[in-house]
Each structure stands twice: as structure tokens, then as C-alpha cells.
Structure 1
Amino acid sequence: MARRVRGANPEALGGLLMIAPPAVYALLLLAAPLLLLLVYSFWTDGYLEIIRDFTFANYHETWTNPLYRGVMMRSLMVSLLVTVSTVLLAFPVAYFVSFHVAPNRKSTWLFLITIPFWTSYLIRVFLWKVILGYNGVLNAGLLKTGIISEPLTFLLYNTNSVVITLAHAYAPFAILPIFVALERIDRSLLEAGQDLGESKLMTFFRVTLPLAMPGLVGAVLIVFIPTIGDYVTPQLVGGPEGRMVANLIQLQYLRLDNYPLGSAIAISAMGIVALLSAVFLFMTRKYLRGPK
């Protein structure tokens, strides 16, 4: 071991020493709460107290109660819909900026894409509430143009409003990694494909899209993982039909004072997200390998 340390690269050791303090700090901030959450999930809820008796009852309740299962499935469906819609809308924007905007203007476009970050996430959610409301901007515009005769009631306080709001909120997170992946594509490869007789469309599907897959995979994970645990958007624009698993956890913790069951629901949700993310990475692993 001593020989390995003496023969190690000094720059590598210096890098490890530099990242060690923040790494330990992050580990304490992340691992300690998760460990506490895991411990709580195996304890028993008592009246205004937690009984430290080991039990699987909380997980049994989480997976057998139809209400909890329904909310979990709804959260997964909403997150999948948000991820698909966000990535499908983000890819054309990233493609346009990468391939059709002059190099000296790309920074301006990226600056415009990040403008939503200038305002609070809470304010953006409230703005969508104003837009989609019964007397909101969208209904007022449709009424004024004569497209509808009475305000639409399905725009707000349901799953649709949650998907629309989350897709808008996470669009920049999807655009940026896709843009970076597109920027790394060697343009000569596209020219070579067309020189060999491929159409622009087939060149896109056979060259551009596979090379952009690392950015797409990153965008999918960046959007899917946080949206399934989003609390503010379902609370403000979801209504009873749009509540998600984070709202259920909040109910157990702050309203019902059932920390063990809330912890079991949280651990179960994290396990599902981790499993689905691992499966997705396994299915797309061939696109993530670097050039040989």
C-alpha cells in the first residue's frame, strides 16, 4: 500500500485531497437523512410518539393500500408524461440552436433559454395557475375569439395542468444537455452520410440521433427523477386529481403525524425511481459508450 501511495500521481492525489472535504460534507448531508428515513420506516407509529419496534407493517401498508398504490402509479404516469413531452419539445429547440443558429449568436439563445431561471419556481407555477384558470388568460382569449362559448373547466386542477406546468418548468434542464451533445457531433460525419447517398432525414436518424443519445439520456433522467417527487406544482395546480406521492408523504408527516409510514412511502418511491432509472440506463448503455 505504501508503494502505491508513493507511486501515485501527485496531481491525482492533490485532486482527491481537494474534493475530499466537500465530498464528506455532501455525504453527511445526503446519506445521514436517508439513513434516518430508512430507520424510521421500520419503526412503529404510536399516539404522538414513535415506538422503536422493528416492523415491516409500514411497507406492507404502502404496497397493499389501494390509495397509496394509486397515488404512486399516478406519480409515475405524470412523471413519464412530463419527461416524454419535455424531451420531445426540447430536442427541436436544441437542434435549431446547435445547427441553424450562427456560432456568435448561440450564447444569446442559451441566455434566452435560461431566462425562466431568473424568476422563482413558485412564481412560475402561480403564473400557470393564472393562465389555465377558469377566468384565466387562456379561457379569456378563447372566449374573445369565439372558439368556445363558455370557459373550459378541464385546464386546471387535474393531471393535465400538472403535466403542462412541470414540462414548462423543466424544459431548460432538457434543452441544455441535448444541446451540449449536439454540439459535440462532428459535422463532417453528417456530410459524409449525405455524400454516400443518404437523405437528410435518414442521416438524422442514423447519425445525428444516435450521437445525441447521451444528451437525450441525461435529459430524461434530469427531468424524470425530480418531477416524480415534485410537491409544489401538484399542490397548487393539481387539485385532488393531480396529487402526487410527495403530497402523500407531506400528509403523513405533517397532518397525520405518522413518520414511519411516511418514511416507508418515501423509501418505496425512491426505490422505484432508482430501479426505473437503472433499467433505462441498461437499455441505453450502448449509446453511452465512448468511441472505441
Structure 2
Amino acid sequence: MLILCLGGLQPRQRGPVYVTASFVDKNNLFIENLSNDEVQVLENGQVRRIEFMARDEIPVVYGLIFERALFSELQADDRSRYGRVSGSTSAREIAYQLIDKYLGRQAMWVGAYDQGLEVVLDVSFDGSKVKETIQQLQGLRRPPQSLLHGALLSAVTKMNDRPEKRRVLLVFLDVLDVDSGGKIKSLKSLLSASNVEVFFVSLASALGSTRSALHPQMSQAGLKELATATAGDALFATYYREHSEDLTQKIYNQIRTFYTFGFQAEFTGEKPGSLLVKCTRAGSKVRHHPAVPALP
């Protein structure tokens, strides 16, 4: 079970909210046959009636974001010298597999970032057009320092304007930059208060990045911490070697096992009260946001 504790008492307001959650059983396997009567949602200790429950049958919007440094000529040269697959090749390969096998008919948009986020393709249901856009992404030979925190802020803002009840960000990057690494706390607050699931895919080598950034172990820990704030995940290509299809499958397995719940929440000011989500199935565990988004 998961406890969410938020703001104090102010004039009350009721309205619908939607939250996503994933459930694992006593064997740590995702629960794919959960029923409504196995879940309880309590707000400030009061049981709220679940008015909506769905898994992968509802519309989802996906944002595919790429760090431009992955496409730099300098990085490609360096990785080629050491016999490693370039970040651009790996990122494209994983994205194409996701689109071809799973996301092709969903709403998708594409962004690229260095010191800011550029939306290079607005929301489209055309998988071929999305792949074509990704293929055309380019970087500079010596790219400027990437700033993940600014890109995430812009991406979350864009997602919050979407009508879909589920919103998933897939962020392909080399490593976590030093500046964003120093802003983990504020980034976690941003992500935990959004109705967005974030999955990071790091293409960095275990030996380190070719650029000035956090040490790979620190980068991995930071990305894991950020992803956990959204019940998403951070995955690292170095552990999958040449088996990108296994990484793709793991990403999709997690995405498709999320449930979406809708209920009437009681808000005070801009923040909801404390929330408790429980699963009555023996040995089960719940993962989801540590916060619920306030009413628009």
C-alpha cells in the first residue's frame, strides 16, 4: 500500500481525478487480472468510490523525448573508436521497436532537448510519421550541455494540456547532467504532482560518458529516483548489450500493466489531501505517484 500526504485545510472543492498504479503479487509479478473490489482508495481516511477503472484499453498519449547529444557526430566517433553501438542507433532502434510493436496507433509526439525542449512533431497517430521524424533528428558535433530539468518541465506542462487520462513520457538520454542532478528534489516534486508516468532509457556506457556529466552510477541512481516519483522506471542499455528487444519488452510490460482509477476527490486550495491506495490481494504491493494532481 502507498500513503500520499498533502496540504492543509482550506475551502473545499470536489472534482474527478485520475491516477495510475501498478500492482505486483507475492511473487513480484505484475497483476493483470485485478478486479475493482480488490482495490480501495481512501482520501483523508475516508473510502472513496472508484468510479472508473481500466488497464490498457484506454487512450494514452506518449511523448518520446531524445537528448540531442545522442545524435552528435563527436559521440558517434568516440563510441565507434571503442567498438560500441552509438547512442543514436540504440535510441532509434528501441523507439522503432516500441512504435512498430505497441504504440503505432496511439497518440505520440516527439521532442528533442539540449538546453531546452523543442517539440519537433506535435501529437500524431501516424507511426510512420513519428519514425520518420526520429530518423531526421540530428545533433551538433560538439553539442551544448544538456539540461534535463528544463526539458522535463516543458514536457510535463505539455502533457498536462492533453485530454487523455494516461500520459507516458519516454526519455532517451546519455546520462543525467550535473545541473539536473543537483535539482533532484525539485524535479521529484514536479513529477510526483503530475499525472505523467516517466520512463528513462539511458544509453550511456558503464565506462562513462564522453561528456562532462555525472558518474554513471550517480546518474543511474538519480534517474531511478526521478522515475520512482511517477511509478515509472529507469532502464540502462548497458545491461542489455546487443539485446535491445529485451529492453523494449520490459518497457512495454510495465506500461501495459498500469491500471487507471478515477474517483471524486475533495480538494483544499490547490492540493488534495492524504491518499491511501490498498490492494486486498494477499502479498500484493502497489506502485504509483506519491501525489495526486490538483484540479485544473
Q: TM-score, normalised by structure 1?
A: 0.25
Q: TM-score, normalised by structure 2?
A: 0.25
Decide which structure has the larger Cα Rg and report it: 1
Larger RCO, structure (CA 8 Å, separation 6 or more)? 2
Considering fraction of residues, name the structure with more helix: 1
Considering fraction of residues, name the structure with more strand: 2
